[in-house]
Amino acid sequence: MRAILLAGGAGTRLRPLTYTTPKPLLPVCNQPFLERQLTWLGRFGVTDVTLALGYLADPFVTHFPGGTFGPMSLSYAVEPEALGTAGAIKFAAEQIGVGAQERIVVCNGDVLTDLDLSELVDFHVARDAEATISLTRVEDPSRFGVVPTDSDGRVRAFVEKPPPGKAPSHWINAGTYVLEGRMLDRIPYGVNTSIERETFPKMLTQDGRLLAMESSAYWLDVGVPNQYLQAHHDLLNGRLGDQVVPEATRDGMGPWRQGEVEAADSASFSPNCLVGGGTTVDDDAVVVMSSLGFGCKIGRGAVIRDAVLGDGVTVESGARVEHSILGPGAIVGAGAVVQQVSVVGASAIVPAGSTQSEARINPPGDFE
């Protein structure tokens, strides 16, 4: 089976991290998020994946120089201009020659899930669907596209961002689809079109066989800072089983380690931490519920709590980083405080003694 993975967005909600790295290549527990998605697809027999790209396309080609990921074959469909979700699917499908009788999987490039893809395909086939949408249940559907269905899974309507308390259902579009090749004829080529807001709703008025399957599988959109942090929490706390981190080990109830770590005897770690190889942690430093990249330097008495640090980050003595994200090579000066979902870009510097709350600190250069 072939899949199209939508990875062309600018990732504006995760800026300044995405000024230098496209969102799907941002690390989650020290592994590029895209690799996690490809591993998930491969688990269900997907052998060929086309990345639908736009923003910062070159880093994807550089990251996969042989056009492969393990046994999986990769290809690239780089949009000449933004085409929306449906337009991107159509463009990619034309590039790889998806036939009318072929069946493909489509998924968004910012969703962490353990959805049983085989179950979704079986549901689709058993009901002779033209397109099938995976649904996930959320407590507050007012920020999402709600998809009410009948007892057989036939989609009855699409309700975009209903007012709080007014949603007809708690089941929302989870961003994974199974599509028959003939369904792609409904999408105009080269036109900016949304599959969620235009193509799927039109199918309801044109008697298309549009189905949706409810799933209780884990699901998280990692495209905003709070949820990017949440993805790390959930992986480190075992909510996705063995998907925690690749090639990591631990001694007893200590932190997960990816290679040799130099830590002072007086440094302390909570068990739900990940520390990349080559990292040094000085006296009296404290690391709690956090993911540290490779080659980080944590100074004396520094506190890292509920945070994500990219590769090569330096946190100087007495500094504190809480519920925040530091891009690769960032430096937090001595005694500084970074807190309340602050996001620090690659190689950016937080001045010593300063306090950053809900801050966005750009990397060096012109990124306004």
CA-atom Rg of the chain in angstroms = 22
**Is there a catalytic annotation at residue 90?**
no
Q: Annotate 291-356 with three-state secondary structure.
A: EECCCCEECCCCEEECCEECCCCEECCCCEEECCEECCCCEECCCCEEECCCEECCCCEECCCCEE
SS3 state of residue 257: strand
What would the two tokens of residue 223 be?
A: 């495209």
CB 244 within 8 A of CB 235: yes
Please answer whether residues 54 and 69 qualify as being in contact, where contact means their C-beta atoms are separated by less than 8 angstroms: no
Question: Exposed, middle or buried: residue 302 (CB in 10 Å: 0-12, 13-18, 19+)?
Answer: buried
Computed from CA positions of residues 130, 135, 141, 143, in that sequence, does the dihedral angle turn out positive or negative?
Answer: negative
Question: Considering 161, 166, 202, 297, which one is annotated as catalytic?
Answer: 161
Kindly tell me the sign of the dihedral angle through the C-alpha atoms of 275, 281, 283, 285: negative
Contact 310, 326 (CB under 8 A): yes
Which residue bears the tokens 């790295």? 21
Show the tokens assigned to 363: 């990397």
Query: Cα 152 from chain centroid?
Result: 31
| 49 touches 70 (CB < 8 A) | no
Strand ranges in 181-237 using DSSP code E only, listed in sequence order:
210-215, 219-221
Catalytic residues, by residue number, are 161
